Chains A and B, each alone.
Chain A
Amino acid sequence: GESVGLHLPTLSVQEGDNSIINCAYSNSASDYFIWYKQESGKGPQFIIDIRSNMDKRQGQRVTVLLNKTVKHLSLQIAATQPGDSAVYFCAETTNQGGKLIFGQGTELSVKP
């Protein structure tokens, strides 16, 4: 498949380990923070979001943590699988609707 070819930060983990992907966001006024996953040759895919008045939200095998004090967002993936290999983007938006501001992205590589 195609790749964008960005020089992204990379995280390499062993299958079965937990992964933590970090993101620094820019706008204190953002109302929602979202994680997207982009596999090679595909468009981004929504994973999970969190409102600005929360500090933790859990989904299936994923947890998002929000620290507004230091404008930091993280995505934890439990028991990482080869299918989790992708580029992960954090994004932020406001209640005004729609416009997603994406971070740089982190490439996750899972070794079997």
Chain B
Amino acid sequence: DSGVTQTPKHLITATGQRVTLRCSPRSGDLSVYWYQQSLDQGLQFLIQYYNGEERAKGNILERFSAQQFPDLHSELNLSSLELGDSALYFCASSPASSYNEQFFGPGTRLTVL
């Protein structure tokens, strides 16, 4: 158990809909990262937050947004969903002293029908 929790574990929805994925980092970790793992793209970095502020951005679509709240939990919002958004979405956290050792949650499996 990495100490990072993600909910829900599975999500099935229809095209055009909007969903919210939630992540609670390990206690004390200020950085939260979101990654997408899909069949054709592999593991891709989406976005990083540090103590409530956006720190780095990857190939995140404009339809996707994220935020980190004062209690350090984070949410990833996916809107106008398309079939191609079906993937595993991982959240990870790390202490400020070590960005390399990121602790990944169990992921949310999103299926868009």
Q: Does A104 sit within 8 A of B, measured CB to CB?
A: yes
Nearest chain B CB to A28's CB is how many angstroms away? 18
Interfacial chain A residues near B45, Cβ < 8 Å: 99-102
Q: How many A residues touch B, CB cutoff 8 Å?
A: 25
Assess whether B101 is in contact with A49, with CB atoms less than 8 Å apart: yes
Assess whether B105 is in contact with A99, with CB atoms less than 8 Å apart: no
Interfacial chain A residues near B31, Cβ < 8 Å: 98
Q: Does A97 sit within 8 A of B, measured CB to CB?
A: yes
Q: Does A29 sit within 8 A of B, measured CB to CB?
A: no
- Assuming the contacts A44-B104, A100-B45, A102-B44, asked whether A5 and B39 have C-beta atoms less than 8 A apart, the reply is yes
Q: Does A4 sit within 8 A of B, measured CB to CB?
A: yes
Main secondary structure of the interface of A (DSSP, over half): loop
Q: How many B residues touch A, CB cutoff 8 Å?
A: 31
- What is the CA–CA distance of A4 and B42 in the complex, to the nearest angstrom? 9
Main secondary structure of the interface of B (DSSP, over half): strand
Assess whether B48 is in contact with A43, with CB atoms less than 8 Å apart: no
Assess whether A32 is in contact with B56, with CB atoms less than 8 Å apart: no
- Contact among B2, B44, B101 with A43 in the assembled complex (CB-CB below 8 Å): B2
Interfacial chain A residues near B55, Cβ < 8 Å: 97-98
Nearest chain A CB to B88's CB is how many angstroms away? 7
- What is the CA–CA distance of A100 and B103 in the complex, to the nearest angstrom? 12
Interfacial chain B residues near A45, Cβ < 8 Å: 2, 104
**Residues of chain A having any CB pair with chain B under 8 Å:** 2, 4-6, 32, 34, 41-46, 49, 89, 93, 96-105
